[in-house]
Amino acid sequence: MEMFFHGFMQRAFQASLLISLIAPVLGLFLILRRQSLMADTLSHVSLAGVALGLLIGVNPTWTNMLVVAVIAILLEYLRAVYRTYSEISIAILMSAGMALVLVLMGLSDGGATLSINQFLFGSIVTISEQQVWMLLMLTIIISLLYLVFRKPMYILTFDEETAFTAGLPINTMSVLFNVLTGITIAVIMPIVGALLVSAIIVLPAAISMRLSKSFNGVILIGIVIALIGMLSGLVASYEVGTPPGATITLILIVVFAITAFIKNVFRYNKFERFFKKSNI
């Protein structure tokens, strides 16, 4: 109970709750659009944004958002150029992002290296009230956008050609989705760390996709799973003293393994009942 009296833990719980609401929504669309690795690319690139901010003496959150938004647009352009091999765009930008981080860190003094480490692994102690407010605003924006554009996004994710012939502005929608994902990563990254931000976005949706048949069901179950993973991971991280991002990711992977096991047992029993019934 003691942990709930610390201001930084209260902010961490608030942030976790908000991340749990948006991560499965973005995660599901990323997976279905074959862009799971895009979150990883953007998190690497956002480190370059942080390094740039530290180098020129501007609040890294703002430079981070700006750089990630630009790269998100570039990513969509490259995805269109290499339509058949869209992972090429991810490979190019991920390596470009990391190269940029190292160059920018080389140009700055040692202080930047320390701060970059914080962004790399994340820290719940450093969550500021301003970050929680930003996350709240982002959650409201994403929730509203999801409620309004749920149907066009469903079609776009199902098949881009169908979406195009239905008259949807598929390029604009794709770019906006990428930018929104980029900004979300830029806001979440200082909390969970650049190395694991994509896992926290993608894993809840990946688990819930195995559990629900319907689109809305996947998102609802994803939110529940994200809440379980985020909150229990945070408590475990506080109690054991492990990094929060890594702890949450490991818990989500355990949940993934458990659900896969239970589902397989369930399927096996179903087959067994069928064969017994058919006397095969």
Q: Which residues bind other proteins (CB under 8 A)?
A: 28, 32, 148, 151-152, 154-155, 157-159, 161-162, 164-167, 209, 212-215, 217-218
CB 69, min distance to other proteins, A: 26
- The nearer residue to other proteins, 28 or 116, going by C-beta atoms, is 28
As given in the structure block, the two tokens for residue 85 are 């091999």
As given in the structure block, the two tokens for residue 266 are 């369930």
CB 164, min distance to other proteins, A: 6
CB count within 10 Å of CB 106 equals 10
DSSP string, 60-79: HHHHHHHHHHHHHHHHHHHH
- Is the Cβ–Cβ distance between 72 and 179 less than 8 Å? yes
- Measure the CA–CA gap between 194 and 197, rounded to whole angstroms: 5
CB 166, min distance to other proteins, A: 5
CB 161, min distance to other proteins, A: 6
- The nearer residue to other proteins, 6 or 210, going by C-beta atoms, is 210
The SS3 assignment for 211 reads: coil
- The nearer residue to other proteins, 27 or 60, going by C-beta atoms, is 27
- The nearer residue to other proteins, 109 or 161, going by C-beta atoms, is 161
- Measure the CA–CA gap between 115 and 220, rounded to whole angstroms: 36
As given in the structure block, the two tokens for residue 29 are 């669309």
In terms of phi and psi (left: phi > 0; alpha: psi -120 to 50; beta: otherwise), the region of 85 is beta
CB 209, min distance to other proteins, A: 5
- The nearer residue to other proteins, 152 or 243, going by C-beta atoms, is 152
Residue 243 gets which letter from DSSP?
-
